[in-house]
């Protein structure tokens, strides 16, 4: 397949989601004549240029892994002045733009090549020249990423130009349930038969085949999607209200994935797929997903979408668990469980799910156990220590200034989770779900 169509695409960040989702789907759509990407790592920029813009992504299906060749892709380093000018011109030309950065904190910096400055200048040019209308996908796993990015961009544009710019660009939030990663271990790359991104670097991108991505509704200014605009990446699905789906992603998909990883760490298991061999773990994760996360979200969002019904949410959970345990994805406990401090924050996937369940009158015993396991990843002595968990969690929650009563309820639930986790280990890791059912009344 070669580039065709009449559109241009620009991506910021050349990690797994950009390379294996946005650029990949833009290429596969056949609707784009140019693919351009910004990347600050000089080695990655040089390697893609050496390979004439062609790169490989490894796609994991349920029975195999296939390498997909994508390109040509033009790459630029925003830290370079001439490359920065190229990116500004690219934004002015683009019909679709995607940021796939480590977090929303990377939108702004003091550098002239900061993402928000490049976007601001490119969008100003687009508006002045009546260039092609564009959408900007914000893919930083934050419920308000698009709003944060839009505010940062507009802060660099004179106020009298805002309406004109709004008439040419729509910032979209995203719900990206696609599991992906970058493999750097040469042994793992060889063992799994992966192709490196280019022949000139040692990393490989491995993503699952899933591509049902949800995005917020396109609008230009106070108008619906007019100007004859149609997205070139047609596989993405627009939703008028994305927040319920963002919560399902964070408090269902992300939280259960994290619980699997932290239980794996307690068990000493290296790969997520291998957890399925431990008695009762699959049933435990399914019960957490359906009966705790699912029931809480159904109570909160009932009537908003078929997803928020018992049948809809169970199908969602069943599909995700099958994908999580896909041996061809090769996901590791270490990768999924990295940065436990961030994942234990008051509004993030673990504590956030415990809070959601408690708010809806449920007892989240399984997510509390997973949260306690995450605290053990944060501090290896936590599982054996008698130190109250509040001494470890209060510093993590400090910025959120949680409500005292809610804080006490969450701490009580997680302390009970730690007790169950200790008992499960003490008993030699019996069937996990059966163990939980037998010990629902455990107290410290």
Same domain membership, residue 408 and residue 316: yes
Same domain, yes or no: 53 and 158: yes
Provide mean pLDDT across the span 301-328.
Answer: 96
E strand or H helix at 56: strand 55-60
Quote the pLDDT of residue 443.
46
Distance of CA 236 to CAs 5, 174, 414, Å? Answer: 18, 9, 37
Do residue 286 and residue 330 come from a single domain?
Answer: yes
Strand ranges (DSSP E) for 24-64?
32-38, 55-60
Asked, for residue 315, whether it belongs to a domain, the answer is: yes
Q: 101: domain CATH number?
A: 3.40.50.720
- Which residue shows structure tokens 């994305």? 242
Q: Which pLDDT band holds residue 442 (cuts at 50, 70, 90)?
A: low
Same-domain check for residues 423 and 311: yes
Rounded Cα–Cα distance for residues 353 and 363 (Å)? 11
Asked whether residue 392 carries a pLDDT value surpassing 60, the answer given is yes
Confidence (pTM):
0.91
| Cβ–Cβ < 8 Å for 52, 71 | yes
Closest to 349 in 3D by CA, of 278, 260, 216: 260
Q: Residue 221 has what pLDDT?
A: 73
Whichever domain contains 333, its CATH number is: 1.10.1040.10
Q: What values do phi and psi take at 175, rounded to 5?
A: -120, 105
In this structure, the answer to whether residues 67 and 216 fall within a common structural domain is yes
The predicted pLDDT at position 278 comes to 86
Beta strands per DSSP E along 225-340: 237-239
Instruction: Report pLDDT for 143.
Output: 85
pLDDT-above-90 percentage for the chain: 93
Measure CA 212 to chain center: 13
Query: Looking at 204, 224, 240, which one is the last position of a domain?
Result: 240
Half-sphere exposure at residue 349, Cβ-oriented, CA atoms within 13 angstroms: 27
Q: In the listed set 218, 240, 262, which residue is the last one of a domain according to the structure?
A: 240
- DSSP secondary structure, 135-202, as one string: EEEE-SS-TTHHHHHHHHHHTTS-GGGHHHHHTTEEEEEEE----EEEE--HHHHHHHTPPPSSTTSS
Q: Is the pLDDT of residue 2 over 70?
A: no
Please, are residues 417 and 382 in contact by the beta-carbon 8 Å criterion?
Answer: no
Average pLDDT rounded to a whole number, residues 184-192 = 94
> What confidence category does residue 441 fall into, taking pLDDT thresholds of 50, 70 and 90?
low
The answer on 182 and 314 residing in a single domain is no
Which of 200, 217, 240 is the C-terminal boundary of a domain?
240
Clarify whether residues 293 and 348 are in a common domain: yes
Structural domain contains residue 33: yes
Where residue 105 falls among pLDDT bands split at 50, 70, 90? very high
Residue 402 has a pLDDT of 96
Same-domain check for residues 257 and 403: yes
Q: Which domain holds residue 165?
A: 7-240
pLDDT at 444 over 50: no
pLDDT (tens digit per residue) in 189-219: 999 999 999 999 999 999 999 999 999 999 8
Structural domain contains residue 444: no
* Structural domain count of the chain: 2
Please, which pLDDT band fits residue 224 given cuts at 50, 70 and 90? low
Confidence of residue 67 (pLDDT cuts 50, 70, 90): very high
Q: Evaluate whether residue 154 is within a structural domain.
A: yes
- Cα–Cα distance measured from residue 27 to residue 8, given in angstroms and rounded to the nearest whole number: 11
Per the domain annotation, does 105 fall within a domain?
A: yes
Note whether 236 and 249 are same-domain residues.
no
Q: Above 70 in pLDDT, residue 274?
A: yes
For the stretch 163-180, pLDDT in tens is 999 999 999 999 999 999
Is 159 found in the same domain as 13? yes
269, 227: one domain: no
Contact between residue 120 and residue 157 where contact means Cβ atoms under 8 Å apart: yes
* 2: in domain: no
Q: Which residue has the tokens 């419920």?
A: 143
Query: Residue 443 domain-assigned?
Result: no
Q: Is the pLDDT of residue 113 over 90?
A: yes
């Amino acid at each position: 397949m070669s580039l065709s169509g009449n559109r241009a695409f620009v991506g910021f960040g050349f990690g797994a989601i950009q390379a294996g989702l946005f650029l990949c789907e833009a290429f596969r759509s056949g609707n784009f004549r140019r693919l351009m990407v910004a990347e600050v790592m000089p080695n990655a920029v040089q390697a893609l240029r050496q390979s004439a813009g062609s790169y490989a992504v490894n796609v994991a299906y349920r029975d195999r892994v296939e390498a997909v060749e994508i390109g040509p892709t033009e790459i630029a380093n925003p830290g370079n002045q001439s490359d920065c000018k190229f990116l500004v011109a690219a934004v002015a030309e683009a019909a679709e733009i995607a940021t796939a950065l480590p977090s929303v904190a990377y939108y702004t910096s003091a550098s002239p090549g900061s993402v928000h400055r490049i976007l601001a200048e490119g969008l100003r040019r687009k508006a002045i020249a009546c260039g092609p209308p564009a959408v900007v996908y914000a893919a930083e796993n934050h419920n308000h990423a698009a709003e944060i990015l839009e505010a940062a961009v507009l802060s660099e544009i004179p106020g009298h130009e805002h309406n004109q710019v709004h008439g040419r660009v729509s910032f979209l939030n995203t719900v990206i349930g696609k599991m992906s990663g970058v493999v750097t271990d040469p042994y793992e790359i060889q063992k799994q038969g992966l192709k490196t991104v280019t022949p000139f670097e040692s990393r490989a991108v491995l993503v699952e085949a899933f591509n049902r991505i949800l995005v917020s509704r396109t609008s230009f200014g106070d108008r619906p999607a007019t100007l004859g605009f149609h997205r070139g990446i047609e596989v993405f699905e627009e939703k008028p209200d994305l927040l319920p789906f963002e919560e399902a992603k964070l408090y269902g998909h992300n939280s259960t994935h994290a619980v699997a990883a932290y239980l794996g760490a307690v068990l000493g298991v290296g790969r997520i797929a291998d957890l399925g061999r431990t008695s009762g773990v699959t049933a435990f994760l399914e019960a957490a997903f359906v009966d705790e996360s699912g029931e809480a979200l159904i109570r909160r969002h009932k009537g908003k979408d078929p997803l928020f019904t018992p049948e809809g949410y169970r199908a969602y959970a069943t599909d995700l668990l099958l994908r999580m345990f896909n041996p061809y994805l090769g996901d590791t406990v270490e990768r999924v469980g990295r940065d436990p401090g961030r994942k234990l924050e008051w509004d993030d996937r673990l504590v956030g799910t415990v809070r959601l369940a408690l708010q809806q009158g449920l007892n989240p015993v399984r997510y509390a156990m997973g949260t306690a396991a995450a605290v053990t990843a944060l501090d290896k002595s936590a599982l054996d220590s008698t130190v109250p968990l509040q001494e470890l969690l209060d510093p993590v929650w400090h910025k959120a200034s949680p409500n005292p009563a809610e804080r006490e309820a969450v701490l009580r639930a997680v302390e009970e989770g730690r007790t169950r986790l200790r008992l499960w280990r003490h008993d030699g890791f019996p069937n996990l779900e059966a163990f939980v059912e037998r010990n629902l009344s455990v107290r410290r």
